Amino acid sequence: MKSQILHILEKNNRIVSGDTISAALEISRVSVWKHIRELQELDYKIIVTPKGYQLVGTTGTPFPREFSRREAKVHYFPELGSTMDTAREMAGKGCPHFTVVVAGRQKNGRGRLKREWCSLEGGLYFTLILRPKIPPIFSARLIFCASLTLANLLNKKFSVPAQVKWPNDILVRGRKISGMLSEMEAEGDRVTFINIGIGINVNNDPTFQADRAISLREILKESVSRKELLSMFLDAFENRVKHTNLDHVVSEWKQYATMLNRKIRIVTRDEVSEGLAKDVDENGTLILELADGSVKEIVHGDCFHLG
């Protein structure tokens, strides 16, 4: 019913009376009012006037109905604590492969290594729930595939010179535009789910919390539809996962890498290491050459350029 009300409001693109809607859908005016209230709670900007209702300014919000064939698997919430928590709950209840949890803003957006992820209105915050038929050891390939897909999309479709920094940051001219984190559950040698959480600075101002961050709007000097961006990302990512061999994802990812052959510092929860970034292997492990010439393999951590 809500979808039909939205259709009427969209088609008319002006104020539509409660009587017109109730007659068209054969429901009472009270029922129309209740549906309108629920749509407003879902973030649809519907103005209520004495003459009726008008839909305004929702362009670009990633509402499920904007995703046609994906509609049933896209779940939009105006505000969440973190899409990671909601996605974990949904995955635990058995939601299907390629379910997407999107939030308009997050109260407790999480970054890697327990940092906060600034999640103000205007950014794109989502978690993709995947149930791939791969052993846990290959799970990192999927996350590298996600950062490769996004870097590629920004370069090819938006002409933005995006690069990747190990493990999965996306930078534009050295400033961070997107970050990713993942959670996985496995039983034996079978992955039950991998949740990939992605935050992209789109039309928000991320410099409030991170002055080395940048948004797509700042780069392009115009707002970008979050719905379009998410839709393009989902299509491109799905296509890669279905049709390409994940064995070579990291090799392709390296074409966009900023840190290879540079001096870097890696910070993990337990230690700090410095050295030359020699390589990243096909499972996403960073190969760091230390000052004494020895080689260290690093699986998790945060990477900082030293020069």
Per-position DSSP letters for 78-136, written without gaps between them: EEES-HHHHHHHHHHTTPPTTEEEEEEEESS-B-GGG-B----TTSEEEEEEE--SS-G
Residue 162: partners with Cβ closer than 8 Å, 6 or more residues away: 150, 151, 154, 155, 170, 171, 172, 177, 256
Residue 190: partners with Cβ closer than 8 Å, 6 or more residues away: 133, 135
Among 52, 62, 104, 109, interactor with ligand BTN by CB under 6 A: 109
Shortest distance in whole angstroms from residue 179 CB to ligand BTN: 2
Which position has the token pair 């690093």?
Answer: 298
Among 181, 213, 234, 298, interactor with ligand BTN by CB under 6 A: 181
Q: Is 300 in the site for ligand BTN (CB under 6 A)?
A: no
Rounded to a whole number of angstroms, the CA Rg of the chain reads 22
| Binders of ligand BTN in range 24-53 (CB under 6 A) | none
Q: Nearest-CB residue to ligand BTN?
A: 179
Per the CB < 8 A criterion, the answer to whether 292 and 258 are in contact is no
Identity of the residue, 267 or 276, whose beta carbon is nearer to ligand BTN in the bound complex = 267
Contact segment (CB under 6 A) with ligand BTN among 41-49, 122-130, 249-257, 268-276 equals 122-130
Identity of the residue, 48 or 105, whose beta carbon is nearer to ligand BTN in the bound complex = 105
Is the C-alpha dihedral spanning 130, 131, 134, 137 positive or negative?
Answer: positive
Q: Is 203 in the site for ligand BTN (CB under 6 A)?
A: no
Per the CB < 8 A criterion, the answer to whether 256 and 161 are in contact is no
Q: Is 111 in the site for ligand BTN (CB under 6 A)?
A: yes
Among 99, 127, 149, 152, interactor with ligand BTN by CB under 6 A: 127
Q: Is 194 in the site for ligand BTN (CB under 6 A)?
A: no
Among 36, 162, 180, 264, interactor with ligand BTN by CB under 6 A: 180
Identity of the residue, 52 or 197, whose beta carbon is nearer to ligand BTN in the bound complex = 197
Residue 69: partners with Cβ closer than 8 Å, 6 or more residues away: none
User: Residue 167: is the preceding peptide bond cis (ω within 30°)?
Assistant: yes
Per the CB < 8 A criterion, the answer to whether 221 and 209 are in contact is no
CA pair distance 84, 179, nearest whole angstrom: 13
Q: Is 196 in the site for ligand BTN (CB under 6 A)?
A: no
CA pair distance 239, 146, nearest whole angstrom: 11
Identity of the residue, 36 or 203, whose beta carbon is nearer to ligand BTN in the bound complex = 203
Identity of the residue, 53 or 63, whose beta carbon is nearer to ligand BTN in the bound complex = 63
| Binders of ligand BTN in range 66-85 (CB under 6 A) | 82-84
Identity of the residue, 6 or 84, whose beta carbon is nearer to ligand BTN in the bound complex = 84
Question: CA angle, corner 113, sides to 104 and 139, nearest 5?
Answer: 80
Q: Is 204 in the site for ligand BTN (CB under 6 A)?
A: no
Q: Is 115 in the site for ligand BTN (CB under 6 A)?
A: yes
Q: Is 226 in the site for ligand BTN (CB under 6 A)?
A: no
CA pair distance 181, 132, nearest whole angstrom: 17
Contact segment (CB under 6 A) with ligand BTN among 18-26, 92-100, 175-183, 203-211 equals 175-183
What residues line the site for ligand BTN (CB under 6 A)? 82-84, 106, 109-112, 115, 117, 125-127, 169, 179-181, 197-199
